[in-house]
Amino acid sequence: MKDILIIGAGPAGLTAAIYAGRAGMDALVIEKLFAGGQIANTHLLENYPGFPDGISGQDFAEAMRKQAEKFGAEFVSAEITKLDLSGDIKKIYAGEKCFEGKTVILAGGAIPRKLGIEGEEDFIGMGISFCATCDGMFFRGRDVAVIGGGDTALGDAVYLSNICRKVYVIHRRDQFRASKVVVDQAKAKENVEFIMDSVPERFLGGFDFEGVELLNKKTGEKTTLEVQGCFLAVGYLPDTAYMEGIALDKSGYIIAGEDTKTNIPGVFAAGDIRTKRLRQVVTAAADGAVAADEAAAYIESTKISF
């Protein structure tokens, strides 16, 4: 029996584990992949306070995990299949294994959004990737495309420009959503080219990935872009499919305010998984701190005998 069960080892979950340990709470962090979540795939984190020269996402995540372990947090690798949060004792199932706790912090983050177009499923992992820092080296000296217009997409383009011969950035609008500093960095790269007002209609190839068919939304013209790889950066979907009983908004995010409280007593939501306007590492960390504090206050106030 743990004081706090934390689902997810991204910045929100790791911060929650740190604050839980410092509050004397016995915390268990359950993560199906690796510490850091999305941030572990970021080649350079530049907007987190205290790192004027930036820090790699992997180094940042590893430091947070070590800090959480220093304060007593335990980690287990498991894929969650079911939750039972209705009683005083909260239960999290991973297959036949069951973890029990007095409170739960849901910090599972989000998963990459797919485009849902022809050829996508055929080439995921064989030309199509969701992680430039993970797979960029496979395309050294080759031509690639990045689809998206946010910070992740433009940041991926900058990273890939140092590896690949040519990087095309495909965006459906005539303006980027990314911050100006990231856009300027991408524009400064001579081998980065922007294809605006365009959307991918299908991915092309036989045995090997060969490119993408594009539709210009303004002119209606269709063109074929020949590239050997394509990186998708079109947003994320909250990882809430298995969370029966938790109130979600129309987009599938957990409904929870700045106090991180969900509709179920003793259950809290932190980070990208909850309804919020700004989803950044710094706001995820803030959520984690609040959630751990609220969980400790809940345990103290209920005085339930376990």
CB 193 within 8 A of CB 169: yes
Alpha carbons 193 and 111: distance in angstroms, whole number:
27
**Active-site residue flag, 53:** no
Q: Which of 59, 134, 174, 249 is catalytic?
A: 134
Q: Is the dihedral of CA 128, 132, 138, 140 positive or negative?
A: positive
134 catalytic, yes or no?
A: yes
* Neighbouring C-alpha atoms within 13 Å toward the C-beta of 173: 8
Catalytic annotation, pick one of 131, 239, 272, 287:
131
Choosing from 3, 135, 151, 272, the catalytic residue is: 135
- Cα–Cα distances in angstroms (integers) from residue 289 to residues 2, 30, 83, 108, 216, in the given order: 18, 17, 23, 15, 45
In the block, tokens 């993970």 appear at 134
Q: At what angle do helices 11-22 and 57-70 cross, to 10 degrees?
A: 20
Across the chain, the runs of DSSP E, i.e. the strands, are 2-7, 27-31, 74-77, 82-84, 90-94, 97-106, 110-112, 128-129, 143-147, 166-170, 192-195, 198-205, 209-216, 222-226, 229-232, 236-238, 267-269
Angle (CA) 43 47 51, round 5°: 80
**DSSP conformation letters of 105-124:** EE---EEEPP---BTHHHHB
HSE at residue 91, side-chain half, CA atoms within 13 A, is 9
Q: Among this protein's residues, is 131 annotated catalytic?
A: yes
Which residues are the active-site residues? 131, 134-135
